[in-house]
Amino acid sequence: MLVMAYHRSYNLSTITTRGNNVYGPNQYPEKLVPKFVLRAMKGQKLPIHGDGSNVRSYLYCGDVAEAFDVILHKGMIGQVYNIGTKKERSVLDVAEEICKLFNINSKDVIEFVQDRPFNDKRYFLDDQKLKNLGWEERTPWEQGLKLTIDWYKKNPDWWGDVSNALNPHPKSAINLADGAQWSFQYGYSRLGRSFTEVGRSKTNVRFLIYGKTGWIGGLLGKLCDEERINWEYGKGRLEDKRSLMEDISRVKPTHVLNAAGVTGRPNVDWCESHKVETIRVNVVGTLNLADVCNENGLYVMNFATGCIFEYDKEHPLGSGIGFKEEDKPNFIGSFYSKTKAMVEDLLKNYENVCTLRVRMPISSDLSNPRNFITKISRYNKVVDIPNSMTVLDELLPIAIEMAKRNLKGIWNFTNPGVISHNQILELYRDYIDPKFKWENFNLEEQAKVIVAPRSNNEMDASKLKKEFPEMLSIKDSIIKYVFEPNKKT
Ligand SMILES: NC(=O)c1ccc[n+]([C@@H]2O[C@H](COP(=O)([O-])OP(=O)(O)OC[C@H]3O[C@@H](n4cnc5c(N)ncnc54)[C@H](OP(=O)(O)O)[C@@H]3O)[C@@H](O)[C@H]2O)c1
């Protein structure tokens, strides 16, 4: 409707297409056809939501691509075209046909699992208008299905580790436990969710979030949707003050959440050889944002780092004495950490800023290469040092609540306690892969394969724990939010 309005009011050249169930090679295996094909290839059951009577119109991807081509060249500006097929089949039929092509007895493998909420019974499109342009469906279902199966047989690892997607009810990147998880995955807002987990307060807030394409920024956006918070991503660049001011006047936020910054690819070693770029974003940019927000009387939450400390005489390894919020950073071994420590010190002068010291973030998405667990499970050799860490699945909802409560100042944003590399990898072996093995090396050997030294420390999380007493210790949090939901053994 909005697109049509723009066409009608401003003569914008638009054509709208409406498609529904596309299938074929290369499709992400969360969708029904590739999921069943890959599960059948692995000799697994084919889980059907509900009784399998829901019907869908499956159209082969090549035919859909041709439809776009025809519409692009022959369609009329301002029109809407349905891309569909009149041939419908039930989910149960699809499962049975896949069984037939794999020569397996459908009765042995089809299992009926809990239906998902609002699982539509049918979508049916009239494609006559598209046919009038000369398009027609050219790939019959039987042929398309065979082409699809052949492709997945030839490319079984195309999508990497898709074990989560192959679950009957896949878990999303962020694990929000039970009801939240459910609605999050299927795109429904959870109605009437209790706010007891973190004692959430109900306020009228509007968030402006920076870091749209980033890991933490992406998760924050999803969480805000799930929490039905009014929010928008910033379009501006941190080093460009004017663009930040434009964002503020456009979005009119009550709070700004900053998860933007350069973190280096493939890792922070990048900052050693890109010092000016690092300063431009992490120093000038972060200060710009705090300053613009200050001038506009706005709260800013800055996702900063706790990698500005290292074990020392007053906080020795294994002592249980962690660095507190008021402690002065003592780790400047890497350029990234050095600039982050400088900025933290300067930001203390801004009364509108909340600084969250994040460390070695972990999430339930074990396929994410940024996840600390994923990283160390893929290294050839790892050091074994206890550290404080941040379990994002548990702590990002807490960050949102902190913003709503207008909590400011510096916060050690880690789960209480420490966990070592080996303790994590032992859990990985016990929950994910019983055959998993790893090798340790010491700090001197590690220094040979990295450019800048890394910080190792324990942070004192008691300030955060006092505000959110239900927060779990690092080991319990990792088990609950990462290993239990991904358990394979
Ligand atoms: N991941 C970690 O291990 C870790 C640990 C502790 C703390 N942190 C901190 O948490 C924050 C978020 O981390 P992350 O892991 O989510 O980082 P990330 O995945 O590297 O994402 C960084 C985000 O910042 C944006 N960005 C970069 N330069 C920008 C600029 N000049 N203006 C506006 N946006 C810009 C990027 O957008 P474009 O793609 O458009 O450039 C991207 O969306 C960072 O400040 C990081 O230092 C991360």
- Centre of ligand 1 to C-alpha 140, Å, is 46
Q: What is the mean pLDDT of each run of 10 residues along the chain (489 residues)?
A: 89 91 94 95 93 93 96 92 92 95 94 84 88 94 96 90 81 46 40 36 82 97 95 98 98 98 91 96 98 97 97 97 97 94 98 98 95 94 96 98 97 98 98 96 85 91 96 97 94
Cα dihedral across residues 35, 37, 41, 45: positive or negative: positive
Would you say the CB of residue 347 lies under 6 angstroms from ligand 1?
A: no
160-176 b/e with 16+ CB inside 10 Å = b?
eebbbbbbbebbbbbbb
DSSP string, 319-333: S--PBPTTSPP---S
Would you say the CB of residue 213 lies under 6 angstroms from ligand 1?
A: yes
Dihedral-angle region of residue 177 (phi above 0 means left; psi in -120 to 50 means alpha; beta otherwise): left
Q: What is the pLDDT, as a whole number, of residue 8?
A: 86
Q: Is the CATH number 3.30.830.10 carried by domain 2-154?
A: no
Residue 370: is it exposed, middle or buried by C-beta count within 10 angstroms (0-12/13-18/19+)? middle
333-359 b/e with 16+ CB inside 10 Å = b?
ebbbbbbbbbbbeebeebebbbbbbbb
- Centre of ligand 1 to C-alpha 259, Å, is 6
Residue 301: is it exposed, middle or buried by C-beta count within 10 angstroms (0-12/13-18/19+)? buried
Distance CA 67, CA 65 (A): 5
Q: Minimal CA–CA distance to 296: which of 346, 344, 241? A: 241
477 within 8 A of 359, measured Cβ to Cβ: no
Q: Do domains 2-154 and 178-486 have the same CATH topology?
A: yes
Query: Residue 113 contacts by C-beta under 8 Å, 6 or more apart in sequence?
Result: 47, 48, 49, 168, 169
Supply the residue whose CA is at minimum distance from atom 15 of ligand 1.
215
Just give the CATH number of 178-486.
Answer: 3.40.50.720
Report cis status (omega within 30 of 0) of the bond before 316: no
- Centre of ligand 1 to C-alpha 112, Å, is 42
Give the angle subtended at the CA of 224 by the CAs of 222 and 229, to the nearest 5°. 150
Q: What is the pLDDT, as a whole number, of residue 472?
A: 97
Q: Minimal CA–CA distance to 264: which of 461, 51, 451, 457? A: 451
- Rg for the chain (alpha carbons), in Å? 26
DSSP string, 272-294: HH-HHHHIIIIIIIHHHHHHHHH
Would you say the CB of residue 361 lies under 6 angstroms from ligand 1?
A: yes
Q: Minimal CA–CA distance to 67: which of 20, 32, 12? A: 20
SS3 463: helix
Distance CA 147, CA 152 (A): 9
Give the angle subtended at the CA of 400 by the CAs of 476 and 330, to the nearest 5°. 70
- Centre of ligand 1 to C-alpha 214, Å, is 5
Would you say the CB of residue 29 lies under 6 angstroms from ligand 1?
A: no
SS3 439: strand
Q: How many CB atoms lie within 10 A of CB 362?
A: 29
Q: What is the pLDDT, as a whole number, of residue 371?
A: 97
- Centre of ligand 1 to C-alpha 262, Å, is 5
- Centre of ligand 1 to C-alpha 316, Å, is 30
Break the chain into its structural domains and give their ranges.
2-154, 178-486
The HSE-up count of residue 176 (CA atoms within 13 Å, CB side) is: 28
Distance CA 488, CA 161 (A): 13
Ligand 1 atom nearest 217 alpha carbon: 16
Supply the residue whose CA is at minimum distance from atom 12 of ligand 1.
259
Indicate the length of the chain as a whole number.
Answer: 489
Give the angle subtended at the CA of 415 by the CAs of 412 and 420, to the nearest 5°. 110
Dihedral-angle region of residue 187 (phi above 0 means left; psi in -120 to 50 means alpha; beta otherwise): left
Would you say the CB of residue 237 lies under 6 angstroms from ligand 1?
A: yes
